[in-house]
Amino acid sequence: MQVALVMGSISDWPTVKQTADLLTELHVSYDTHVISAHRMPQELQQFGESAKAEQYQTIIAAAGGAAHLPGMLAANTTVPVIGVPVQSHALNGMDSLLSIVQMPAGVPVGTMAIGNAGAKNAALFAAEIIALQDSDVDQQLQAYRKRQTEEAIESNAQLH
Ligand code: RP5
């Protein structure tokens, strides 16, 4: 698989499904995993340590609240990690965002926006990395951008 799509809890799936659907649309292969940083710390370490051997090109990790999953995966691998802050109930995802984005120098996580926009952009960002060496994914990305531009232009018609 080109991408590992990891979430901290099955309760993150409604957000992460948007990433999964877009990866499918862009012809990026992926597998999905629930790995909780706090409830499954040994599984998390093992997953990070084997990610390179599994030949993942990117890991997308989504978590909410005390969102340590992306950072701890990044601590255990040099496969690029994209973090998606899930919108939490208590603090609207600000806790998730700050937990993911404030990594110490030396262990990077590419952090997306909170919630749905971040979930979709994580798929697009991963596809952009993969498209550097995969012409099919590159074509899908170009077509996606073209459709998006056309839809924005056509939305002018709704003003009349
Ligand atoms: C995080 O805690 C998960 O990523 C999830 O966003 C949040 C709440 O998890 P549950 O209590 O719903 O399993 O680890």
116-139, pLDDT tens digit by residue? 999 999 999 999 999 999 999 999
Question: Which residues surround ligand 1 with Cβ inside 6 Å?
Answer: 8-9, 11-12, 36, 63-65, 86
Percent of the chain with pLDDT over 70: 100
Domain range list for the chain: 3-159
What atom of ligand 1 comes closest to residue 37's alpha carbon? 14
Q: What is the CATH number of domain 3-159?
A: 3.40.50.1970
Mean pLDDT for 41-61 is 98
Mean pLDDT for 86-108 is 97
What atom of ligand 1 comes closest to residue 68's alpha carbon? 14
Report the binding-site residues for substrate: 9, 12, 39
156 burial via Cβ count (<10 Å: 0-12, 13-18, 19+) = exposed
| Residue 130 to residue 115: CA distance in whole angstroms | 23
Predicted confidence band of residue 160 (pLDDT cuts 50, 70, 90) = confident
